[in-house]
Structure 1
Amino acid sequence: MATGTALLLVASALAILAGPLALGLAGFVSARRADAAPTAGGSWRFAAASMLVYVFAFNLTFFIQELFLVLPKALTPGLRPTLYHNNHGWEGANPLAGLFQGTGALATLLVGLACLWLLRRPRAWSAGTRLFVFWMAYCGCFMALPQVVIGALSAGSDLGMAMAYLQLGQGTRIAAAIVALGAMPLIAMRLCRSMLEFADTPALAGAGARTRQVFRWVTLPALAGTALVLPFRVPRELVEVLLVPLLVMLCGVPWIQAGAWRVRGIRPRGAATAPSLAYPLAAVVGLLLIFQLVLRPGIHFYGG
């Protein structure tokens, strides 16, 4: 194994596993010292809405990724791409196909960063709208950034093909992957602050209270939502069904959970009014039907 690859694997383990674990343990100790008394954790209906919005945002982001993998190929002579519910493919040949394997991750990252920026703007949004922007920011960033690391490790991955087309050397690939790994906790902590702004003042009173609030409103919804994402991705090989949802959840949620105790200076927007479950449930069911009835057979693009 090359030294650079081994170094990147170690850095990935530190960023995805060891870092959140160490930060979370420090928070556990801090919470026991500062405010061990339990506090109310907020509305369970809000948590259920967060789970449904996560499922919708994940699959919408995945659709955006695959759509923007297909559209550039559809406009390229010699390529005939097809869009599916869990993948895309193409017939024909053109050297640009390798480059366009990177456009999906670029599109989702731009969507994620745009939503992250919107969360920083003072807007009179409903709770449901803010939840949607929050999870779109999360899914956009954490669906794209891990692909940079995978691209540096695997030439056969989507971003690996794009990096090969651009003739990026190993050093450049590893540097890009390190930047992506470093961005993950920074984005996670920004999102943690945004979610805690939903809470009322008592829920922000101490490290333990903030940790419990994030567990109920972010971690549990993401865990349950990851299981609910799977029906959108079948039928396909089990590893492909599971890999992307698990990767998106594991690269960001542990940082958000582990860092909740450290967030200071939050400006609460008042107790979050739990949005109606009817709208996100209808959106999830409707998107599932589109995925399985419309996209699963494949939509052919013959523009090139």
Structure 2
Amino acid sequence: MTPIGFLSVFAPVFALGGPLLLGAYGVWRSRGQARPPVASLAWDWTLVVASMLLYALCFSLIFFVQELFLVLPKAFTPGLRPTLFHNNHNWDGDHPLAKLFQGTGALATLIVAAACAYWLRRCPPRSALWRLFAIWMAFHGCYQALPQFVVGAIFPGNDVGMAMEYLQWSAPTKTVAALLAMAAIVWIAVRLLRPLLTLAAQPERIASAGRRSAFVFQVATLPGLLALPLIIAMRVPGSLDQVAIVPVAEYVIGLWWMQAAAWFAIPARAGETTAVRSVAIPLLALIALTLVFHLLLRPGIAFY
């Protein structure tokens, strides 16, 4: 089997089967553990809604960063005339560097993700809203970029795949890059769990493997699922891959691994953040960004 053939089989098994196996093992390991009193399991629905709104907001912000930095290098390249849209970009003209610049969007989102991860590590916000914002920016920055290395290794027409072709990467080199990206997908999912768990108001909410899994479901997995219609509404109209495939695939690849790994997450200190009192700010921010996407970006902004 060729390296690319191996990736074509291994990548979907890794993305779908890996979290299922890890999560099932966590359920088996957690059987028989003592559970906290039922009173401590009450959901903070304000936190759930805030997480949903910020998940949708950060997805679109990161996607905008990606497309903007796909457009800007082309805008300064003679012979290329790029246009930025709300769910894609396009360009007229030809230049040898155009293929290389198809990789600059993923690079930009990874840089944003690294900056937010540094923020969380060195100076984590006391506000639960700002901490959620930093978590979701880091999450989307990674999970909108890393899967492109896997897809690009298999399909040269993908954005990162075009950059790989320009750089004349061999099939083994592409395979190594894809495997490293998959390893990073799991590692980042585990690393993001700790700041996520610090959103718990009481220590008993994350005191056991089962409770950690339940809390991650409440503040991440469920909000991410509920945010998908909001994200899709910001991206219509467009082709299926532009509107739905990207957010759904990112949800499955990123949040399934986070949920599956929650049972063995490094214990975190609860009560580090101030409670979310209102969802007005993320709601207004999401509405404003939706208006920008549909009123300004949907018709297209020409960078020439």
TM-score by shorter chain over 0.5: yes
- Aligned residue-pair number: 301
Displacement after TM superposition at 1:272 (Å)? 5.3
Please give the alpha-carbon distance, in whole angstroms, between the structure 2 residues aligned to 1:35 and 1:17.
30
Displacement after TM superposition at 1:269 (Å)? 3.5
The one-letter code of the counterpart of 2:80 is L
Please give the alpha-carbon distance, in whole angstroms, between the structure 2 residues aligned to 1:33 and 1:281.
41
If the length of structure 2 is used for normalisation, what is the TM-score?
A: 0.95
Gaps of 5+ in 1: none
Deviates more, 1:65-74 or 1:273-282: 273-282
Residue-by-residue CA offset, 1:88-138 (whole Å, 9 max, x unaligned): 001111100000000001101111122122211243431111110000000
Q: For residue 264 of structure 2, what is the aligned residue in structure 1?
A: 262
Name the CA shift for 1:88/1:62 in 2 (closer, same or farther; >3 Å): same
Residue-by-residue CA offset, 1:247-274 (whole Å, 9 max, x unaligned): 1111110111111111233222347502
Aligned ranges 1:31-50 → 2 under 5 Å: 31-36=30-35, 39-50=40-51
Aligned ranges 1:18-167 → 2 under 5 Å: 18-36=17-35, 39-167=40-168
Q: For residue 222 of structure 1, what is the aligned residue in structure 2?
A: 224
Displacement after TM superposition at 1:182 (Å)? 0.5
**Per the alignment, in what secondary structure is the counterpart of residue 90 of structure 2?**
strand
Regions of 4+ moved over 6 Å: none
Residue-by-residue CA offset, 1:159-178 (whole Å, 9 max, x unaligned): 11111111111111111000
Please give the alpha-carbon distance, in whole angstroms, between the structure 2 residues aligned to 1:281 and 1:194.
22
Please give the alpha-carbon distance, in whole angstroms, between the structure 2 residues aligned to 1:271 and 1:50.
14
Gaps of 5+ in 2: none
Q: For residue 238 of structure 2, what is the aligned residue in structure 1?
A: 236
Deviates more, 1:165-174 or 1:15-24: 15-24
Q: For residue 189 of structure 2, what is the aligned residue in structure 1?
A: 188
Residue-by-residue CA offset, 1:45-78 (whole Å, 9 max, x unaligned): 1010000000000000000000000000000011
Please give the alpha-carbon distance, in whole angstroms, between the structure 1 residues aligned to 2:108 and 2:245.
20
**Per the alignment, in what secondary structure is the counterpart of residue 33 of structure 1?**
coil
Please give the alpha-carbon distance, in whole angstroms, between the structure 1 residues aligned to 2:273 and 2:32.
26
Residue-by-residue CA offset, 1:176-210 (whole Å, 9 max, x unaligned): 00000010010001111110011120111111111
Deviates more, 1:238-247 or 1:118-127: 118-127
If the length of structure 1 is used for normalisation, what is the TM-score?
A: 0.95
Q: For residue 303 of structure 2, what is the aligned residue in structure 1?
A: 301
Deviates more, 1:221-230 or 1:238-247: 238-247
Please give the alpha-carbon distance, in whole angstroms, between the structure 2 residues aligned to 1:110 and 1:235.
29
Please give the alpha-carbon distance, in whole angstroms, between the structure 1 residues aligned to 2:262 and 2:146.
21
The one-letter code of the counterpart of 2:26 is G
The one-letter code of the counterpart of 1:129 is W
The one-letter code of the counterpart of 2:236 is V
Deviates more, 1:113-122 or 1:210-219: 113-122
